[in-house]
Amino acid sequence: QQLLPDYSETDIFNYSDEKWQWALDNEYSIWQYFMEKEYLYSSEKDLVRRFLDPAPFSKFYITSDIESPGQIGAWMGWQIINSYAETHKKPLPELLATPSMEIFNQSNYKPHK
């Protein structure tokens, strides 16, 4: 949010309040799904289409997909970066220069049930 301070998180992701709340309510389940499938370390190209590309919803291939917001992978990345930023308090240029694996490993990101 340092980069776009005049925009709300829902505006940044172009989520309705309902879609944002869905993401928050399902954060733990999304995280578990990504971890169980080992998607965080995957280079599978189809995952970009399913979880990062703009779309009406993300594609978990379950019956409730249509309820999910699109780009849920980007939203999850946002949560990881926010977790890292809360504990490391770096200025924006330094944060942007931090390697992604360092951010991930030191974020201590663990969503709650």
Residue in 83, 82, 55, 85 with CA at minimum distance from that of residue 71: 55
At 6 the pLDDT is 92
Residue-wise pLDDT tens digits, 42-100: 999 999 999 999 999 999 999 989 999 999 999 999 999 999 999 999 999 999 999 99
**Domain limits, the chain:** 9-106
Taking the whole predicted model, whether its pTM rises above 0.85 is answered as yes
Residue 108 predicted with pLDDT over 80: yes
Q: Which residues contact 104 (CB under 8 A, 6 or more apart)?
A: 40, 80, 84
> Other C-beta atoms within 10 Å of 45: how many?
8
Most confident by average pLDDT, 3-7, 70-74, 109-113: 70-74
